[in-house]
Structure 1
Amino acid sequence: MKPIKTAILSFGLSGKAFHAPFIDLHKGFELTGIWERTKSESVHFYPGTTIYRSLEEILADDSIELVVVNTPTATHFDYTKKVLEAGKHAVVEKAFTTTTAEAIELKKIAEEKNSVLSVFQNRRWDSDFKTVKKIIDEDWLGEIMEVEIHFDRYKEELSPKPHKEIPAPGAGILNDLSPHLIDQALVLFGMPEAVFADLRMTRPGSKVDDYFEILFYYPMLRVRLKSGYQVREPFPAYVVHGRKGSFLKSRADVQETMLVANHKPNLTDWGTEPESEQGLLHTEKDGEVIRRKVPTLQGNYYDYYDGIYESIRNNKPVQVSAEDGIRVMRIIDTCFESSRQRRALPIG
């Protein structure tokens, strides 16, 4: 197994918690270097890696095959374009870009360079979402009629990171959290016919959107996506109603909490939720009414990077493709316009 030499463009929360641990765990990768502009924090966690002081140093290193673009959203297009034009593969944090047009251009460059380009939609591998998907795929609820997906928090203070709070391309909760929920909805149900979005600023002093409610229109189904910072008592993260029954599930994936606490992932019991967070299934099967808790599947972001390895080394289809990223950006662009016009808009 020839390891894929990999560089990460930032060692903040994203690099430290979501990327480096799984690249380091996977035998098919070698964490070659990390871009730290002034600090040298990564050396304490990964002493064998090189600290780069500029993107140009990374691009000039011919041994590096894969670059993780996990910098602020406004930089994604420019940095990813340079990475692809240097002949390297790229994993890009969400939001993929700041516009659909940028996302389309990156896909075109990747195809011209025969490079793997993927968006880091790690929440597909959350334990809670995997369980919801299994319930739907196994047809426990019949035809799905109504779905709500929430990503709520209670936090009034503004982020100390300027790129999150100053009005600019890539700022705001729609760019920060909605890509998770939009991607999950698209995985489950595909592209909607139309979208309505309500964006608001709710925290004292906020200058960017910090609340959204998005409604996806399908022929019969409606999917509602919600996120905000004024939710002290959270709603179930997943509420799924079908013609035969319902499934309710909390957002209880433990991976982020464990990673932020510097726990190293593994391939055995990682991503295992407590039994107390099991979802509630209330449905009917073969004439019998069923109301019971459902064991939660194990989550593991390792599977995302395992897919990247298979795509680069074995030419397998990319699990989260550039086209997936384009679809999410089309929804986000439509949401901004829908909120401005205060009406539902078709997805062209």
Structure 2
Amino acid sequence: MTSHTTSGTCGPALRVGLVGYGLAGSVFHAPLIAATPGLALDTVVTRDEERRAGARAAYPGVRFADAPDELWARADELDLVVIASPNRTHVPLARVALEAGLPVVVDKPVAGTAAGARELAALADARGLLLSVFQNRRWDGDFLTLRALVADGALGEVQRFESRFERWRPRLKGGWRESGDPRKIGGLLYDLGSHLVDQALTLFGPVARVYAESDVRRPGAAVDDDTFLALTHVSGVRSHLYVSSTTAQLGPRFRVLGSGAGYVKHGLDPQEAALREGALPVPGEPWGEEPEELWGRLGAGESPVTGGGTPVRTLPGDYPAYYAAIGDALRGRGDNPVTALQAAEALDVLEAARRSAREGVTVTLRPAGAGSPVPSPARVPEEQPV
């Protein structure tokens, strides 16, 4: 029986202010904060009465604020601020929070540009404060499994990495994520693409060249809803990444080809669906477990569609590990799990992808063979109101 990572705590719980109670705030951040030993959801910033009622029912005793300014005015009552408001607000809110002396977690993307992410990182460093980016997909069970396979050498030398977040949503849902206003940082490239690029960088290190194709396919759409990225890593690994809302037949989540074997995995990590349904991770109880029929297959010269290859048990997903690590970092017992500088590296790639798609060129970020070595992955267990 495997459960999410927790850490021992001492002293009072760290008090968390959460800015925004839309999808990100209510489905991801609030439940994970509340489930983490040593953290306490203290205040939720939202003016929406329906959202307040939902938060009050889920977290009795939680306080509310109408605007983020109310948090800065009592910064000495909080130990951490989490920014889960619309993308366009991430940089200004994070900047003010840091200037108020508060450690900050920002939902992805931390900024609209790599320069913006680096400016926030410099401010946090100058103030001696934690600034972290919520890249929860590093703790997807299938990604943890793939990371372990790469670390163990089960694939040999990885040559090609295919990764997909594909959906069939032929009709628009509306809201700021589908807005064509560039100030709102909408579109799939900066949404799901942020996850795929972060995972590719985590596995295979810095990128030398970027090529992208980006389309607006649905009637009435104003931002990209079907985008492909081809990355050439400094290491020589090639990553092919797909994000789409217009995929009538879904491809495999992962298809990874190495000199010794390949790994093919279908289906999505179950944690998001569980959180959307109101399930909460409980320390000591199973979480993020995937049914055997969705396990990926490892092999060479065989078709996983017809049962070829060896089934590989998917490691349990572990979103709670992110906030457990945040608690440890704030107490001086561990490292920041996702730094703003790591997020800036991913934004470099996203900006290059946008330029490549617009101009029809391949964008060079660094010479082949330059930069940091490939990391050695360790096995690791609608426009809406704020």
Residue number in structure 2 paired with 1:316 = 334
1:134 aligns with 2:148: yes
**Residue 149 of structure 1: which of 163, 170, 185 is its match?**
163
Residue number in structure 2 paired with 1:212 = 227
Runs of 4+ in structure 1 off by over 6 angstroms are none
Kept in 1, the 8 Å contact 2:214–2:228? The answer is: yes
Structure 1's unaligned 5+ residue stretches are 285-289
**Residue 329 of structure 1: which of 323, 347, 363 is its match?**
347
Question: Using the alignment, how far apart are the partners of 1:156 and 1:252 within structure 2?
Answer: 20
1:116 aligns with 2:116: no
Partner letter of residue 261 of structure 1? E
Kept in 2, the 8 Å contact 1:132–1:249? The answer is: no
Partner letter of residue 18 of structure 1? F
Q: Which whole-Å deviations, capped at 9, do the CAs of 1:93-143 have from their partners, x for residues lacking one? A: 111101111111100110111110010000000111111111111111111
* SS of corresponding position for 1:175: coil
TM-score, scaled relative to structure 1: 0.95
**Residue 45 of structure 2: which of 8, 16, 35 is its match?**
35
Residue number in structure 1 paired with 2:6 = none
* SS of corresponding position for 2:317: coil
Give matches, 1:1-348, under 5 Å.
Answer: 1=10, 2-39=12-49, 40-41=52-53, 42-61=55-74, 62-169=76-183, 170-218=185-233, 220-267=236-283, 268-283=285-300, 291-348=309-366
TM-score, scaled relative to structure 2: 0.86
Alpha-carbon deviation of 1:251? 3.3
Q: Which moved more, 1:308-317 or 1:125-134?
A: 308-317
Alpha-carbon deviation of 1:37? 1.7
Alpha-carbon deviation of 1:222? 1.1
Kept in 2, the 8 Å contact 1:118–1:320? The answer is: yes
Question: Using the alignment, how far apart are the partners of 1:223 and 1:10 within structure 2?
Answer: 34
Alpha-carbon deviation of 1:186? 0.4
Question: How has the CA–CA distance of structure 1 residues 115 and 106 changed in structure 2, closer, same or farther, with 3 Å as cutoff?
Answer: same
Alpha-carbon deviation of 1:294? 0.6
Kept in 2, the 8 Å contact 1:147–1:222? The answer is: yes
Residue number in structure 2 paired with 1:287 = none
Question: Using the alignment, how far apart are the partners of 1:167 and 1:36 within structure 2?
Answer: 23
Q: Which whole-Å deviations, capped at 9, do the CAs of 1:27-55 have from their partners, x for residues lacking one? A: 21011000012322311111211011111
Alpha-carbon deviation of 1:194? 0.8
* SS of corresponding position for 1:303: helix
Q: Which whole-Å deviations, capped at 9, do the CAs of 1:306-325 have from their partners, x for residues lacking one? A: 11011110252211011111
* SS of corresponding position for 1:111: helix
Question: Using the alignment, how far apart are the partners of 2:267 and 2:48 within structure 1?
Answer: 36
Partner letter of residue 186 of structure 1? L
Question: Using the alignment, how far apart are the partners of 1:113 and 1:164 within structure 2?
Answer: 35
Partner letter of residue 54 of structure 1? A
* SS of corresponding position for 1:145: strand
Alpha-carbon deviation of 1:243? 0.7
Partner letter of residue 295 of structure 1? R
Kept in 1, the 8 Å contact 2:204–2:237? The answer is: no
Question: Using the alignment, how far apart are the partners of 2:177 and 2:270 within structure 1?
Answer: 27
Q: Which whole-Å deviations, capped at 9, do the CAs of 1:183-238 have from their partners, x for residues lacking one? A: 00000001111111111101111111111100111353211000111113211110
| Cα-Cα RMSD | 1.4
- Identity between Structure 1 and Structure 2 (%): 31
Question: Using the alignment, how far apart are the partners of 1:345 and 1:163 within structure 2?
Answer: 26
Kept in 2, the 8 Å contact 1:159–1:165? The answer is: no
Q: How many residues align?
A: 343
Structure 2's unaligned 5+ residue stretches are 1-9, 302-307, 367-386
Question: Using the alignment, how far apart are the partners of 1:259 and 1:136 within structure 2?
Answer: 29
Alpha-carbon deviation of 1:164? 3.0
Question: Using the alignment, how far apart are the partners of 1:294 and 1:221 within structure 2?
Answer: 23
